[in-house]
Amino acid sequence: MRKKSYHVAVVGATGAVGQKILSLLEYETQFEISEVTLLSSKRSAGKKLSFKEREITIQEALPTSFQGVDIAFFSAGGEVSKRLVNYAVDSGAVVIDNTSEYRMSSDVPLVVPEVNAHTLTNHKGIIAVPNCSALQMVTVLHPIRKAFGLERIIVSTYQAVSGSGIHAINELKEQARAMLAGHEAEAGILPAKKDKKYYPIAFNVLPQVDVFTDNGYTFEEVKMIQETKKIMEDPALKMAATCVRVPVVSGHSESVYIELERAATVKDIREVLSFSPGVILQDEPGEQLYPMPLYAAGKTDTFVGRIRKDPDYPKGFHLWIVSDNLLKGAAWNSVQIVETMVEKRII
């Protein structure tokens, strides 16, 4: 099965996630790349992007775009994945899908390599990358659960604007410039492009990420809860989430409260996390050492600190988890999935 080098396609190559995938593919993969096909909407078709000192012309993503492609990364929104993923699979490509379109399908593995790489062997052509907020959280909670069991999670997120794409990053910068110059901020993307009203994110905090669902939770919160249960293979896990957008460019932060099955101390948890793959422990209150998005940006690891015992519930703990939402939260996890498949000889 194992090939020496792979023809890779990136659908959404001009986007925030696609650009990060390309920069990882350029220098940092454990597999060889023979050819790269860059795909986008009609808007960017014909433009050129450089890859390994070559200029590659972007093409419009079409059903016929996947001939000869071995691996197709999709990050162009759910609608595009719905329309094109099956053509890629039918052409023989393995699809790594960053959208929510297939994540909850029973025959699609939803993979964080540090947590559930074993599910990759069951793939039928599509592997889904979890939502960024669920992804960084399970990377840290999985080793804690293995050691002490896990009954309940209550999480509040502080999510960066880059999670909403390149236009949202530009909007934050333009609003900040306008407001500092004494003008009114114009808003047209956040909190959710598909919703009715828009609010400024500069100098503000938005308690809405994605659109609302019928039970009062937003779609981001629903995705976080459902996906966490699927990745952890624990439908009985108790979980609630509040997802909040903050004026940060890159790096999602999370305040996470957990209830364990078995007794543990802060020292026990720190010890487990200090040997966990993909996790960096930054937890020295006396030295003011704790994770922050400004310093996590550009890194592929997930950072954890502020680990405290709950004052009232002996098996309850509080943690602060930070990671680059475009790297571990999307692009790096996607590339890592391929590296794991190559290593396991299933691609």
Catalytic residues: 132, 252
Return d(Cα 63, Cα 88) in angstroms, integer: 7
80 binds ligand NAP (CB under 6 A): yes
Q: Does 16 bind ligand NAP (CB under 6 A)?
A: yes
Residue 175 as a binder of ligand NAP (CB under 6 A): the answer is: no
Q: What's the rounded Cα separation, in Å, for the pair 130 and 329?
A: 8
Say which amino acid occupies 16.
Answer: A
Binding mask of the shown chain, residues 201 to 230, with x at each position contacting ligand 3JM by CB under 6 A: ----------------------x-------
Please select the residue that binds ligand NAP; options are 6, 8, 9, 18, rule is CB under 6 A.
18
At residue 73, the 3 state secondary structure works out as strand
Distance of CA 85 to the CA centre of its chain: 19
Angle (CA) 205-210-212 rounded to 5° is 100
* 158 DSSP β-pair partners: 253
Give the C-alpha separation, 271 to 182, whole Å.
50
Least spacing, CB of residue 316 vs ligand 3JM, in Å: 28
Backbone angles phi, psi at 91, to 5 degrees: -80, -5
131 lines the binding site for ligand 3JM (CB under 6 A): yes
CA distance 140 to 124: 28
Residue type, 133: S
How many residues at the interface with ligand 3JM, by CB under 6 A? 9
Q: Report 158-177 residues binding ligand 3JM (CB under 6 A).
A: 163
Residue 163 in the binding site for ligand NAP (CB under 6 A): yes
The residue count for binding ligand NAP (CB under 6 A) is 28
Question: Is residue 128 a contact point for ligand NAP (CB under 6 A)?
Answer: no
If the CB atoms of residues 196 and 345 are measured against ligand 3JM, the closer one turns out to be: 196
Main-chain phi, psi angles of 274, to 5 degrees: -70, -15
Member of 37, 91, 99, 276 binding ligand 3JM (CB under 6 A):
99
- Identify which range of 27-35, 39-47, 261-269, 316-324 contacts ligand NAP by CB under 6 A: 39-47
> Distance between CA 77 and CA 300 in Å, rounded?
23
Q: State which residue, 41 or 204, has the beta carbon closest to ligand NAP.
A: 41
Site for ligand 3JM in 46-85 (CB under 6 A): 77-79
Which of helix, strand or coil describes residue 30? coil
Q: Which residues bind ligand 3JM (CB under 6 A)?
A: 77-79, 99-100, 131-132, 163, 223
